[in-house]
Amino acid sequence: MHEKNECHACAVCGKKFPLQKLTPGGVIRDAINQEILQDFPQWSTDSYICHADLTLYRVQYVHSLLKSEKGEVTALELEVIRSMQQQELITKNTEDELEQQWSFGERLADKIATFGGSWPFLICFAIFLVIWIVLNTTLLVARPADPYPFILLNLVLSCLAAIQAPVIMMSQNRQEAKDRLRSQNDYQINLKAELEIRHLHDKLDHLLSHQWQRLAEMQEIQLDLLSEMSKKH
């Protein structure tokens, strides 16, 4: 009976209360003890705190949890952005890089192959053949430059084909080099994207696990408050 009527001073407000209206620091959760210790360095597990001040610190701890949750999300986004900025960019313009490597002859071969496979070339070449045949069969019948069966024309066409074939092959080799460089660049980009996505998944899993732990702590604190309120009533 004497122990129940014994009074102790609250380490927070300094007022004296009966023992049944005080809570010793040894039974308070560590997180709440840390909150009190920040404001009162002399706080220890042997100290006492009144129920009103303990309720205030519990509410303060819940608010700090909610605030820290917002801060963690922002810090996570900043960490991801910072990690991506520190790494070297993999994306690059392969066209500009290849243009600096090719010689004048290779560029000329590419342009010739492009023109040789276009409609303007086919139309011009068809007009040239028609004019050549008409000249040597109708206009220059007496002294044709290339009489039928147009042996000179066949020679010109054979020389043109012999020159055009290696030019087209040079252009195809250059296009294969472009495709190979593009595929390597795409592979590097896809690999980096996959690693970044895995990194984000790990961060999200870590964040969600912390949220569940803190929600459990908040529920336990609420249960403590409800149990104390039920004892008072």
To which residue do tokens 């403590």 refer? Answer: 224
Give yes or no for residue 77 having a pLDDT over 60: no
Q: What is the mean pLDDT of residues 113-126?
A: 86
State percent of the chain over pLDDT 90.
2
User: Is 86 exposed, middle or buried (CB count within 10 Å of its CB: 0-12, 13-18, 19+)?
Assistant: exposed
Query: Which ranges in the chain belong to alpha helices (H)?
Result: 30-39, 51-86, 94-99, 104-116, 119-134, 151-232
CA 107 from centre of chain = 37
- Least confident window among 75-79, 87-91, 139-143, 176-180: 75-79
Q: Tally Cβ neighbours within 10 Å of residue 32.
A: 19
Q: What is the pLDDT of residue 144?
A: 78
Q: What is the pLDDT of residue 44?
A: 86
**What count of other Cβ atoms lies within 10 Å of the Cβ of residue 188?**
13
Average pLDDT over residues 40-59: 84
Continuous segment of H or E residues that includes residue 24: strand 22-24
65 vs 40, higher pLDDT: 40
The tally of CA atoms less than 13 A away on the side-chain side of residue 123 is 3
pLDDT value at residue 195: 63
HEC secondary structure over 196-217: HHHHHHHHHHHHHHHHHHHHHH
pLDDT score recorded for residue 69: 55
Burial of 163 (0-12, 13-18, 19+ CB in 10 A): exposed
The mean pLDDT value for 166-179 works out to 82
The one-letter amino acid code at 180 reads R
Confidence of residue 1 (pLDDT cuts 50, 70, 90): very low
pTM exceeds cut of 0.75: no
Average pLDDT over residues 136-145: 76
What is the distance, to the nearest Å, from the Cα of residue 112 to the centroid of all Cα atoms in its chain?
Answer: 42
Residue 22's CB: how many other CB atoms inside 10 A? 21
Nearest to 77 by CA among 179, 172, 207: 207
Burial of residue 109, with CB atoms counted within 10 A of its CB: 0-12 exposed, 13-18 middle, 19 or more buried: buried
- Least-confidence region, from 74-83, 119-128, 189-198: 74-83
Distance CA 154, CA 159 (A): 9
The half-sphere exposure of 203 on its side-chain side, counting CA atoms within 13 A, is 17
Taking each helix axis from N to C end, the angle separating 151-232 and 51-86, rounded to the nearest 10 degrees, works out to 170
Task: Tell me: pLDDT of 85 over 70.
Answer: no
Higher per-residue pLDDT: 118 or 69: 118
Average pLDDT in the chain: 75
Contact 84, 195 (CB under 8 A): no
- What's the mean pLDDT in 178-195? 74
Average pLDDT on 55-61 reads: 77
